Chain A
Amino acid sequence: MPNRRVVIGGAAASIATIALAAPHVHARTPPRVVVVGGGFAGASCARALRLIDRDLAVTLIEQNTNYIACPFSNAVLAGLRNIEAQSFGYGGFDGIEIVQGRVAAVDAEQHRVLLDDGSTIDYARLVLAPGIDPRFDALPGYDATAAEIMPHAWKAGPQTLLLRDQLRAMEDGGVVVISAPANPFRCPPGPYERASLIAHYLKTNKPRSKLIILDAKDGFSKQRLFEAAWRELYPGLIEWVPLSSGGRVTEVDPATRTLVTEFDSYRADVANVIPPQHAGRIAKSAGVADQTGWCPVDPVTFESRLRPGIHVIGDAAIGGAMPKSAFSANAQAKACAAALAALLREREPTPPKLINTCYSLVAPGYGISIAGVYQPRDGLLAEIEGAGGTSPLDAAAEVRELEAAYAEDWFRTITSEAFG
């Protein structure tokens, strides 16, 4: 059978070349790259573009004045960190035009972005970094209103504080239920780090309480490390119910804070529903998301397989073996920026090697990690076997402590790279 993706890719490349010829003919104004979304992917990409080629014009469109980072937000839930430490502004973007606004639509034919206020911005190439949105059509009973009672807290900000405050208000002896989705979703180890740090909070403040994880999967990232740590630190406190034990949540009832599975139902005092997700809103309206809800991209340039001239990076993109993480988003952003600079100068982009590391805190001063290296293969980002790994299962306490410190260092580094 002919490979349809390859055919589409070929056509896309030629259309893009024709479209890009225009700026060179009309004027000496530098080609403009417009980046939509000021999270780890978008902010990193805008800054990397300026570093790689100072002659490019770069516009970053973001609807909020501040970005609230997800990594370490589980520590906010557990009362170990202030939400202010998660907040980053857009003051340090020298040479980059920052537009505060919400993108209403993308006109891929005209290479133009339309904002809510009616203004338009033309681009030579567009980068979409819209992150994720919870799917409020995927789990019966779970919509935006239900999320005010059973928070997802999967986009950091008010949802994080809502869940934190519910945990604070819960009485000792209460039951916390976390519902974890099937793959793919943002931050694969996230639900289990969250369970760990909530367990730490419960053990410290409400020791008669219990935490249940209802999971739509039979396995998860760093599972052996998490489970070993749970046995050691929180014996009897965390119960993980995998898919094969009937863990998949099929329905929720916010009125009674009940989570229904295929074989049972669970009444929660605090319910954290992490629902299925898809690429952020603008991906769908720009036509770069496929039927999975995520965005297929070329693994070298991150150009959309569906709309030439539009690149998608970060959680919204189908990253192949690469997980949806802030580290991945930053790595993809830099690779995409390098590819954009090459494409706009009509040079051949170099296939990247990308690294990801995910740190998780199991308790204060107890960190674990997983790392991987990825490169384009057969049209996707594939993991290079043997190049990554996880923390050792039988490490000494000092190793865990060091990894917790590395996690903090990583957060400082990546946020200063993304936000200045």
Chain B
Amino acid sequence: MTARALISVPKTAMRGEIVEIRAMTAHPMETGYRTGLNGTNIPRNIIRRFACTYDGEEVFSADLFPAISANPFIAFTLIATTSGTIEFVWTDDDGKTQTASADITVT
């Protein structure tokens, strides 16, 4: 897939605190409905699924569709329960994945 993903996870949080998580990856999100210069369809190439796990457990996921813009930006909130790793996975039409992760310390 693409080379670069950007994530924003607080380094620390209080137990029970609601924290905002942001994630963006560079991706063309080609719809499959556009015509190229030679008159043929540009093949569809989108991210199908985005998922976030917190300490190994999936806490947020999203199915993406062709109407979603290039470089999709996803923001959501989590309740900080335990110190651990927050991992992000983007999966595209070809099944290729892009990953990113960050640690959070909960006190």
Give residues in A with beta carbon < 8 Å to B: 218, 243-246, 262-263
Q: Are A245 and B26 in contact (CB under 8 A)?
A: yes
CB atoms of B26 and A262 under 8 A apart: no
Interface size range on B against A: 10 to 19
CB-based nearest B residue for A218? B71
In the assembled complex, the CB of A158 is this many whole angstroms from the nearest CB of chain B, namely: 36
**Chain B binding surface SS class:** strand
7 intermolecular pairs with C-beta atoms under 8 Å apart: A244-B70, A244-B71, A245-B26, A246-B6, A246-B24, A262-B24, A263-B8
Least CB distance from A244 to B in Å reads: 4
- Whether A244 lies near B7 (C-beta < 8 A) is no
- Write out the residue numbers on chain A whose beta carbons fall within 8 Å of the beta carbon of B8: 262-263
B60 contact set on A, CB distance < 8 A: none
- State in angstroms the CA–CA spacing of A246 and B26 once bound together: 10
A263 and B6 contact, CB distance less than 8 A: yes
Known contacts A244-B24, A245-B26, A246-B24; is A262 also within 8 Å of B6 by CB?
yes
**Is B65 part of the contact surface with A, judged by Cβ < 8 Å?**
no
Q: Which of B1-53 contact A (CB under 8 A)?
A: 4, 6-8, 22, 24, 26
Q: A245-B26, A246-B24 are in contact. Are A263 and B70 (CB under 8 A)?
A: no
- A243 and B6 within 8 A (CB): no
The A interface is mostly helix, strand or loop, or mixed, namely: loop
Are A262 and B71 in contact (CB-based, < 8 A)?
no
Counting residue pairs across A and B whose Cβ atoms lie within 8 Å, the total is 21
Contacts A245-B26, A262-B22, A262-B73 supplied; 18 other A-B pairs, CB < 8 Å: A218-B71, A243-B71, A244-B24, A244-B26, A244-B70, A244-B71, A245-B4, A245-B6, A246-B6, A246-B24, A262-B6, A262-B8, A262-B24, A263-B6, A263-B7, A263-B8, A263-B22, A263-B24
Which B residues touch A263, using CB under 8 A?
Answer: 6-8, 22, 24
Provide the bound-state CA to CA distance between A246 and B6, in Å: 7
Give min CB distance, B13 to chain A, whole Å: 18
Query: Once the chains are docked, how many angstroms separate the CA of A246 from the CA of B8?
Result: 10
A376 CA to B22 CA, complexed, in Å = 42
Closest residue on chain B to residue A244 by CB atoms: B71
CB distance from A340 to the nearest CB of B (A): 43
Chain A nearest CB from B11 CB (Å) reads 13
Q: Which residues of B contact A262 (CB under 8 A)?
A: 6, 8, 22, 24, 73
Chain B nearest CB: distance from A139 CB in Å? Answer: 18
Residue of B nearest to A243 (CB): B71
Top 6 A-B residue pairs of the complex, sorted by shortest distance between their CB atoms: A244-B71, A263-B6, A246-B6, A263-B8, A244-B26, A262-B22
Contact with A along B49-86 (1 / 0, CB 8 A): 00000000000000000000011010000000000000
Contacts of B7 in A (CB 8 A): 263
Q: Which of A218, A245, A262 has the most chain B CB atoms inside 10 A of its CB?
A: A262
C-alpha gap A258/B71 in the complex (Å): 25
Residues of B within 8 A of A246 (CB): 6, 24
Tell me the bound Cα distance from A156 to B24 in angstroms.
Answer: 36
* Chain A residue at minimum C-beta to C-beta distance from B5: A263
In the complex, what distance in Å separates the CA atom of A244 from the CA atom of B71? 6
CB distance from B67 to the nearest CB of A (A): 18
Residues from chain A with a CB closer than 8 A to the CB of B4 are 245
Considering the complex, give the chain B residue whose CB is closest to the CB of A246. Answer: B6
Question: Shortest CB–CB separation between residue B72 and chain A, in angstroms?
Answer: 10
Which chain A residue shows the least CB distance to B22? A262
Q: Please give me the residue from chain A that is nearest to B27 by CB atom.
A: A244
Residues of chain B within 8 A (CB-CB) of A244 are: 24, 26, 70-71
Q: Give A416 Cβ to nearest chain B Cβ, in Å.
A: 46
Alpha-carbon separation in the docked complex, A20 to B76 (Å): 57
Report the minimal beta-carbon distance from B44 to chain A, rounded to whole angstroms: 20
Contacts of B22 in A (CB 8 A): 262-263
Question: Which A residue's beta carbon lies closest to that of B26?
Answer: A244
Complex: how many Å from CA A94 to CA B93? 69
Q: Closest residue of chain A to B9, judged by CB?
A: A263
- Which residues on A sit within 8 Å (CB–CB) of B24? 244, 246, 262-263
